[in-house]
Structure 1
């Protein structure tokens, strides 16, 4: 109960960052599907809006192939991302396309009810008129609420912090803090709904996020 109380307090603190204005919404699909005992196929679509729906800010599509260094853990992955951005510049919509190659390493740990994940990602970003490299580190954890494990029909709290750093100047890019409530549908699917606060260029901006996670394997092995 003490751990649950701490988790609820942390979630409350994170949601307190919410801004009533300039609030966007992200709708996200994440697939991580086994194609062999060691290999996995990552597939991801994020539809990001300036408002609840309709005013597209960014469409992000990512895919990649990963390999588990140990059984179901310590995954290294090589991937590609396509990003269509439509920012407002001086009140007018513009359009930018980015191609991105990325390498990442994910390791997971478990401490009691706490399911921790560390993600280290290096990105090579091919912008329309520029090339940049960026490092990202994410620390996240899921905490089951009505069960001791992340079993089917389990509600859970999800929290993460992610920092983005350029490999040139300026070094700091952005920082994201996220809190959500999730539900485990079955052993291969879960959903989350939460709030993410992003600090970028000394400006905080809030995002409502709804995510669906699919881990259905492509193989029976």
Structure 2
């Protein structure tokens, strides 16, 4: 029994060392900017809208991705909401399609909830994505048809006020945010883990409904080959706006 355990332990160590040595990591610098809007129309219904642009190579030299999302939100209560939405993503030319952009259509479903612990606030969501990425023939040409994949994402955000009054208008707060993504499709043989995004920065709260978040984000992504990874160091600037169009009677 001891010999068996030692043999298994030895093989595990050897496998780990080989995996580490065979890992190929590509470093990138990117800039991410985006506008996020959640508009509440009634006690139960609202609209989700966000648009994003990401650039790469010395942060801003080349476009990387353009993203637009539009969805319908259902409020279970003030702190718990469900979203069904559509997204279009344009993957600008990169490795695998060096001279042509790749379009992606995405259907997604999300459960999002907010919690308060004194003056500290948290936001979490679980999102399921159904991804339809157009197939690629070569560096210069798209192929017919789409590849279908599924991915699940869990996001956790911590918002800590930097003043005694809490998160109030014209104040700063500290933001810690982590999101992990797991591939669910059978097509993803070598990279069930997709990526992890960690963000640390500040938020300037213009008022109770709008804030600007800016800071540093690290994205660590495993690519389809399994032993290839991207390590992205990014500057992230996002503007968040939550509007409420309910009448006083509705509230």
**Structure 1 length as normaliser, TM-score?**
0.85
SS of residue matched to 1:151? coil
Matched, 1:182 2:203: yes
Alignment of 1:3-152 (within 5 A): 22-50=28-56, 51-53=58-60, 55-70=62-77, 72-89=78-95, 92-129=98-135, 130-152=147-169
Larger mean Cα displacement after TM superposition, 77-86 or 46-55 = 46-55
- Distance in structure 1 (CA, Å) of the matches to 2:213 and 2:164: 17
| Corresponding residue SS for 1:196 | strand
Instruction: Count residues in correspondence.
Output: 200
CA distance in 2, matches of 1:152, 1:214: 13
Runs of 4+ in 1 over 3 A off after TM superposition: 51-54, 90-93, 218-221
Report the counterpart of residue 197 of structure 1 in structure 2: 218
Q: Unpaired runs of 5+ in structure 2?
A: 1-26, 136-146, 223-228
Contact 1:147 1:154 in 2 (8 A): no
User: How far off is 1:148 after superposition?
Assistant: 3.5
Structure 1: tracts of 5 or more residues without a match: 1-20
Residues in 2 aligned to 1:188 and 1:141: alpha-carbon distance in whole angstroms: 17
> CA shift at 1:63, angstroms?
1.1
Q: Give the whole-Å Cα distance in 2 for the aligned partners of 1:45 and 1:102.
A: 15
- 2:243 corresponds in structure 1 to 216
Contact kept, 8 Å, 2:59 with 2:234, in 1: the verdict is no
State the superposition RMSD in angstroms.
1.7
Give the TM-score, by structure 2 length. Answer: 0.75
**Once the two structures are superposed, what CA deviation does each residue of 1:46-91 show, in whole Å capped at 9, x if it has no partner?**
0110144352100000111111112x11111100000001142279
**How far apart, in 2, do the equivalents of 1:45 and 1:95 lie?**
18
State the structure with more CA Rg: 2
Correspondent of 2:171 among 126, 132, 154: 154
**Residue deviations 1:112-168 (CA, integer Å, cap 9, x gap):** 232111210000001102000000001111111124422101100111111110113
Mapped to 2, the partners of 1:53 and 1:204 lie a distance apart of 17
